[in-house]
């Protein structure tokens, strides 16, 4: 019993014999998978739930559930390599055989992760191919580069409340930085007496392109407006896209980054994961290839 506080009566957790209730049972899959079980446990329902109210213990439960589910999934992939048709990965086999031959060892066990397994070598490669295809299709001509392009998508000014009251309200509610600096030294963005996001920005009559950095957006010197207890002008506005904030009614910072490096940045963000080190144990005199 790992969680006596969550399950004081020793309730059963997931097991391989767990079946779907009859009216919800699909013809093919009569048993509840581990993923389905935890999805069921984690969903929020009306009424009090010990699980959802147990703070850090709930977090530990989620991590445990994830590790168990992922572990079984990897175990399944390890045991069903034949059905994954790994003989299709001829290139990899050849490369391994060649390496084993050069190092004068024999090729050992081969465990391959399928491309449906996110984060493994194959989807990484496929994402790379997709990204490169996009870079080829949308060449430098279609990049957001000129001043007019930038102004069309990104604004760093308070909109006119008479033209669009809703955007004005959302910008004043969600897209105003701080204020910090001399007005408010206790703002969380302050580091050694300076704003770490370098607000307030300078007034600027026209957008300026900046090839290897963010552009410097237009911030005209207009009459300040009262937001809460502060008087705010265009120097305090976080760059935004009017359509996006109007659609989502939320803080969405939009910046123009048109260099090819943005592709790497995007994938890095999605797949970087947490800090990790991988340790490999290898039999002497044989070359195993185990992606798990």
d(CA 274, CA 263): 20
State yes or no: residue 238 binds Zn ion (CB under 5 A): no
Interface residue with Zn ion among 154, 170, 171, 195 (CB under 5 A) is 195
Residue 69's alpha-carbon distances to 8, 38, 47, 83, 94, in angstroms, are: 23, 9, 27, 20, 33
Contact status, residue 246 vs residue 287, Cβ threshold 8 Å: no
What's the rounded Cα separation, in Å, for the pair 172 and 225?
A: 9
Positive or negative: CA dihedral 50, 56, 62, 68: negative
Q: How far apart are CA 204 and CA 239, in angstroms?
A: 14
Which of 96/189 has CB closer to Zn ion?
189
List the alpha helices (DSSP H) in the chain.
34-42, 56-79, 90-102, 121-137, 147-153, 165-174, 242-248, 261-271
The pair of structure tokens assigned to 30 is 């009569």
With binding defined as CB under 5 A, does residue 180 bind Zn ion?
A: yes
Examine residue 189 and tell whether it contacts Zn ion (CB under 5 A): yes
Binding to Zn ion in span 11-30, by CB under 5 A = none
Q: How many positions of this chain bind Zn ion (CB under 5 A)? A: 5
**215 contacts Zn ion (rule: CB under 5 A):** no
CB of residue 233 to Zn ion, shortest distance in Å:
15
Alpha carbon 40 to its chain centroid, in Å, reads 24
Minimum gap (Å) between residue 189 Cβ and Zn ion: 3
The least CB distance from residue 134 to Zn ion, in Å, is 35
Q: How far is the CB of 236 from Zn ion (least distance, A)?
A: 9
Nearer to Zn ion, 77 or 238 (CB): 238
Q: Is 199 among the residues that bind Zn ion (CB under 5 A)?
A: yes
Nearer residue to Zn ion within complex by CB, 113 or 158: 158
Contact flag: residue 176 with Zn ion (CB under 5 A): no
Answer whether 148's CB lies under 8 Å from 142's CB.
no
DSSP code, position 239: P
- Shortest gap between Cβ of 207 and Zn ion (angstroms)? 22
Between 198 and 249, CB nearer to Zn ion: 198
- Contact between 239 and Zn ion (CB under 5 A)? no
Residue nearest to Zn ion (CB): 195
In the set 3, 112, 170, 178, which binds Zn ion (CB under 5 A)? 178
Where does this chain bind Zn ion (CB under 5 A)?
Answer: 178, 180, 189, 195, 199
């Amino acid at each position: 019993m790992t969680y006596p506080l969550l399950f004081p009566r020793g309730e059963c957790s997931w097991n391989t014999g767990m079946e779907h209730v009859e009216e919800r049972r699909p013809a093919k899959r009569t048993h509840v998978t581990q993923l389905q079980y935890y999805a069921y446990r984690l969903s929020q329902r009306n009424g009090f739930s010990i699980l959802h109210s147990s703070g850090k213990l709930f977090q530990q439960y989620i991590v445990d559930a994830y590790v168990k589910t992922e572990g079984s999934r990897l175990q399944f992939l390890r045991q069903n390599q034949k059905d994954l048709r790994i003989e299709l990965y001829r290139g990899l086999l050849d490369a391994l055989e060649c390496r084993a031959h050069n190092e004068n060892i024999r090729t050992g066990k081969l465990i391959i992760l399928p491309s449906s397994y996110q984060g493994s070598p194959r989807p990484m490669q496929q994402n790379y191919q997709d990204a490169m295809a996009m870079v080829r299709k949308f060449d430098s001509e279609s990049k957001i580069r000129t001043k007019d392009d930038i102004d069309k998508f990104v604004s760093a000014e308070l909109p006119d409340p008479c033209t669009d009251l809703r955007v004005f309200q959302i910008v004043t509610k969600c897209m105003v930085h701080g204020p910090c600096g001399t007005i408010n030294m206790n703002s969380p963005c302050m580091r050694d007496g300076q704003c770490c996001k370098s607000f307030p920005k300078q007034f600027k009559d026209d957008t300026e392109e900046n090839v290897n950095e963010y552009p410097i957006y237009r911030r005209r010197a207009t009459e300040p407006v009262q937001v809460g207890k502060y008087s705010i002008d265009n120097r305090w506005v976080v760059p935004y896209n009017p359509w996006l904030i109007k659609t989502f009614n939320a803080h969405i910072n939009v910046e123009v980054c048109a260099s090819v490096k943005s592709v790497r940045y995007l994938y890095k963000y999605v797949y970087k994961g947490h800090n990790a080190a991988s340790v490999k144990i290898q039999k002497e005199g044989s070359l195993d290839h185990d992606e798990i």
